[in-house]
Amino acid sequence: MKPNFLILALGMMFLLPASIYSQGESSQKVFKVYMNGLFEKQTRTLNDFPSDSTIYSLEFRDTDIGYFSPALGFIKQNGDIHEFEISRISIGTSRVDSLVILENPDLQTFTMKGDQVYTIHLAFRYEYMINLRKSDEEAALKPYIGFSAQPYFRYLGFRSYVSSVFPYSYIDVGAVMSIIPRVTYDVNERWFLDLNLPLAVYRINWLQDSFEEPSIPVEDRVQSSFNTESFPNLFQVRFGAGMKF
């Protein structure tokens, strides 16, 4: 499947429920684009291989600053807002083909082969925003408190050029619930700015780890678990610009 077609299909999946919702509402609509800063750390400890006493400790760090995400919102008559957002689409690879090291003074060289990482990260967000300044509809500066649910899918595949390091893949499917304080500022009747700080309060997910290591029996190379986590190690800040229509 070509990436452009995949992005189009995911966009249709996002816009369909939003379009169905808009048909039943006479509310004002909002289109918005966020610029995101994301910092996340996730630690996995695996020691449940029946035939292997080794403890595997894995730490994932996701630091991504400056990526954009579009959102479509519907302003209710009381000033509250329903918002649907494509919060993450990331598909790609990264690798170092080789690292040539020059040893002085003998001028001897040797080459270290690099590793390759395949990643897929897809996420959508629904948020209900409560207007905390309903009594002053004409105010340019409006505070909100939002409650959101963000289902996501994440895949990471690791392949090494070093023969002693075996392939590993990781799948994480779940949802993050957040409380989002935000402030919007109306530049004029149509254009506005939005600053918000999502605070992750709960995560529920299903994880699968796959090891292609010969020392582990075939039946034990895939491990899966269902997890819940309060206040996950996830920090995000977002700045957006939008248009009412």
Cα 236 vs. chain centroid, distance in angstroms?
Answer: 10
Closest CA to 211 of 19, 52, 80: 52
Closest CA to 233 of 105, 94, 63: 63
Could you give all domains of the chain from N- to C-terminal order, each with its CATH number? 3-244 (2.40.160.20)
The rounded distance, in Å, linking the Cα atoms of 194 and 107 is 57
Closest CA to 219 of 57, 59, 52: 52
pLDDT at position 48: 55
Segment 132-137 mean pLDDT = 87
Q: Tell the residue number behind the tokens 């292997």, with chain if given.
A: 52
Q: What percent of the chain has pLDDT over 90?
A: 46
Q: Which of 109-113, 150-154, 213-217, 237-241 has the lowest average pLDDT?
A: 109-113
Q: Rg of the chain over CA atoms, in angstroms?
A: 23
The rounded distance, in Å, linking the Cα atoms of 8 and 166 is 35
pLDDT at position 238: 95
pLDDT at position 75: 94
Instruction: Give one DSSP letter per residue of 150-206, joined into a string.
Output: EEEEEEEEEEESSTTS--EEEEEEEEEEEEEEEEEEESSSSEEEEEE--EEEEEEEE
